[in-house]
Structure 1
Amino acid sequence: MPHQTSILRASSSASNPASRLSIISGHLTGAQPSSNTSNNLSTSPTQSRNISSSPSFNMSSQPEHPTLLIPGPIEFDDAVLQSMSHYSESHVGPGFVATFGETLSMLRKLFQTTASDSQPFVISGSGTLGWDIVAANLVEPGENVLVLSTGYFSDAFADCLKVYGASVDTLKASVGSRPQLPEIEKALKSKKYKMVTVTHVDTSTGVLSELQKLSEMVKSVSPDTLLIVDGVCSVASENIEFDAWELDGVVTASQKAIGCPAGLSISMFSGKAMDAFRARKSPPATYFASMKNWTAIMQNYEAKKPSYFATPSPQLIHALHTALSQILAKPLSERFAKHREFSDKVKKAVTELGLKQVASNPDDQAHGMTAMYLPDSVKATDLLPKLFKSGVIFAGGIHREIAAKYVRFGHMGVSVTDPARSDVDKAINALKNGLSDCGYQKA
């Protein structure tokens, strides 16, 4: 089936936040989003976490709990959670400054950059803050941005850019696919774009975008254009070679494949992107998200010098330090291979059940999550509670066009890298039994 892609011009106002809330609120129940009805999350079983002195099924010291296999937040390693219990300390004291500095340096290794002018940022906030950092600092009002859309979160990034005054064109692919290079090249030749944004893995569809060839094409056709990657659902599960692929920015968050509790916006920008910021004609229309306010702070911390603009979260930084230390203890190539291995296992099981993926082309399928269509006879609102009773939590659909038709299975981080865990096998069995309990039998 040919890709159906179109460029959509930005409207003068951002999308309706109430509509977004309706979609988001149903993602655990799979309820059909509606502007007239609210999703009732109380229909799912109560998610109690009874603290017990006995170890849980995977010998973890955590209280027994349903295994969280949504596309983030993910299950966390015990050592990461224990890092959160670090005693209170000054955010400008020598101990914390050393930890934060090491954390920033480790991020360079995770993103695979050795360029001295690349700049990491770790700021309290969610992954969404990364969009604000990009939109407020790297684009000025009226400048053109091309957004490559593969789902809900790509479109949300476009909305954020519009808020800060960017003139946004969206190259939108049909559900489950991604814009193709010839279409992108044609758009880049049609006008001068300050920036191209691409969502590496759109969490709403599980569509994986290819970065290396995209970067090569952008540099060839429009070398001054910045290439910015939303890597919220890809960093630490998909290979990202920041320097080798000449990326200009990658924004992500702590709670997905990195494996740290939510609360940190993490990003890396190239020297070219930082130069673009410094060349602005007008100051950024933000205070907390301003690179002007944060760049020197990050540079000082990485140099192990105390610095202050706004108070960081010492406990979360300790947790991130632990998570990164674990990730970097082995070659990154092994980590990415393990995610591919488990992804293949999940997708094989999904196919054997007679289910289809939202991302139909294997080349477009993420390795840290799988979005799968349900049989016509099965509703997400029936299946998800059955999975929960089996001790597994999946996410419902969130893409506006297909929200009630699919569910999402996250398989990243310790659920695939820790050999002592059986999270994925447990989830596959729960899915088989849940579908059967819903009356589904493969034809």
Structure 2
Amino acid sequence: MTQLVDQQAARGTTPLPMVVGPTRMAPSVRQRLSAPAPPLTDAGFISEFGDCLARLGEVVGSDTAELLVTPGSGTIGMEAIAASLLRPGAPVLVASTGVWADRWREICLRQQVPVHAPRFAVGCPPELELLEELLSRTQFQAVLVTQVDSSSGVRADIAEIAAIATQYDALSLVDGVSALGAEHVEVDEWGVDVYLAGPSKALGASAGLAIYALSDRAVSRLRDRSWGMGTFALDLAPWLPVMAATRRGEFGYYQSPASNLVLALSEALRLVLVEGRDVRVARHEALRDTLYAGLAALGIGLFVPDEAARANGVTVCRVPPGVDEAALLREIAAEGVVLQAGTLPAVGGSTFRIGHMGNVTETDIATTLRAIEAGLAACR
């Protein structure tokens, strides 16, 4: 597929990346990213960083959360949360809906945190009744869940899961990397304790940063932590005074985030707010529904059976019988559209993924459907 993309570039045509990430950036975001990076001590940069944090609070739906923007990635963010907030030896409950929730499990085990990870039906969201039953029987220190698992396309009901966790005095730790910017997110209203996000998916900025929103409970846990940390760089506690200084317009230091990445994120968040959070989610829903209708017309089945559990920004499709997944993706790429293979081990080789998050348009959806139609014709 890389060779096909290179051939298109040589012909002067740019392939359309309908992928989960990184997604396309708006011109103003690219401009901020490509500008010379200002020093971290620059007064203008510190002011813009403060604006970035304020915008982030609006985008995640919080007036009260402690907001952190640090160097990192989604996986680094997950590990930082586990290392900083989970007490070794005390169990956690992982509500797994795919590869990324399974990563929660592996990270916790490496932190010497026992994990209970019930298996739900493949392609289905966590069963709320089962989670509540498990929490009623065992004192878990936290419930870990992925809002949108990009390997399965499953969307979890974070409002309900956070409420159940709070009822049983467990922290709710949410991976929202593939959700923020395409899904409804209300950190305060839902009572989420930690919400993790990343810039390079539905927000349409550049990878390289980890984004956190922490509740008062989570901040208290950080400050009152009674166990020793086995890592320095992944400790979230030292970021609290740094972000407080930034909000005051002062320089604070723990580690060095790339300043141009922060500026690009700030601009991407500004664009989200200009569009309007609800309008943006509605746009993603409308594009998703248009895609679904086109896929149905082509005889392409959807992997997630429950309509309410289907994500707004990523769709996992079933490869039609008799069609080879790799060959289909090659033919689609030859038509100028880049899709991604399925990554869920339970259905390896029989699914492919379409990313339709961030700066995606109706024209992109139509182009994608035409490429899939041509790819299917070439494979049959």
Fold match by TM threshold 0.5: yes
The aligned counterpart of 2:225 is 280
The aligned counterpart of 1:16 is none
Q: Which digits, 9 at most, give the CA deviation of each residue in 1:247-291, with x for residues without a partner? A: 111111111001001111111111111111222111322211112
Pick from 131, 134, 137 the counterpart of residue 187 of structure 1. 134
Correspondences of 1:44-443 after superposition (within 5 Å): 44-47=3-6, 50=9, 64-115=13-64, 118-220=65-167, 222=168, 224-416=169-361, 422-439=363-380
Aligned structure 1 segments of 4 or more residues deviating by more than 4 angstroms: 48-52
In the alignment, the residues of structure 1 paired with residue 78 and residue 32 of structure 2 have an alpha-carbon distance, to the nearest angstrom, of 28
Deviation at 1:163, TM superposition (A): 1.0
Counterpart AA for 1:47: D
In the alignment, the residues of structure 1 paired with residue 142 and residue 66 of structure 2 have an alpha-carbon distance, to the nearest angstrom, of 18
Q: Which digits, 9 at most, give the CA deviation of each residue in 1:201-235, with x for residues without a partner? A: 10100001111122223333x0x210111101101
**Aligned residues of 1:67 and 1:75 also touching (Cα < 8 A):** no
Structure 2 residue runs of 5 or longer lacking an equivalent are none
Counterpart AA for 1:140: R
In the alignment, the residues of structure 2 paired with residue 302 and residue 64 of structure 1 have an alpha-carbon distance, to the nearest angstrom, of 44
Equivalent position SS for 2:373 = helix
**Aligned residues of 1:48 and 1:65 also touching (Cα < 8 A):** no
In the alignment, the residues of structure 1 paired with residue 18 and residue 252 of structure 2 have an alpha-carbon distance, to the nearest angstrom, of 38
Deviation at 1:46, TM superposition (A): 4.3
Count of aligned pairs: 380
User: Does 276-285 or 264-273 show the bigger shift?
Assistant: 276-285
In the alignment, the residues of structure 1 paired with residue 10 and residue 244 of structure 2 have an alpha-carbon distance, to the nearest angstrom, of 42
Deviation at 1:179, TM superposition (A): 2.1
Counterpart AA for 1:45: L
In the alignment, the residues of structure 2 paired with residue 330 and residue 304 of structure 1 have an alpha-carbon distance, to the nearest angstrom, of 27
Q: TM-score, normalised by structure 1?
A: 0.83
Counterpart AA for 2:63: T
**Aligned residues of 2:328 and 2:376 also touching (Cα < 8 A):** yes
Identity %: 27
Counterpart AA for 1:107: L
Deviation at 1:301, TM superposition (A): 1.2
Structure 1 residue runs of 5 or longer lacking an equivalent are 1-40, 53-62
In the alignment, the residues of structure 2 paired with residue 426 and residue 362 of structure 1 have an alpha-carbon distance, to the nearest angstrom, of 24
Equivalent position SS for 2:145 = strand
**Aligned residues of 2:81 and 2:236 also touching (Cα < 8 A):** no
Q: TM-score, normalised by structure 2?
A: 0.96
Counterpart AA for 1:88: A
Q: Which digits, 9 at most, give the CA deviation of each residue in 1:16-59, with x for residues without a partner? A: xxxxxxxxxxxxxxxxxxxxxxxxx76x524357499xxxxxxx
Q: Give the RMSD, CA atoms, in angstroms.
A: 1.6
Q: Provide closer, same or farther for how the CA distance between residues 385 and 49 of structure 1 changes in structure 2, counting only shifts above 3 A.
A: closer
Equivalent position SS for 1:415 = coil
Equivalent position SS for 2:174 = strand
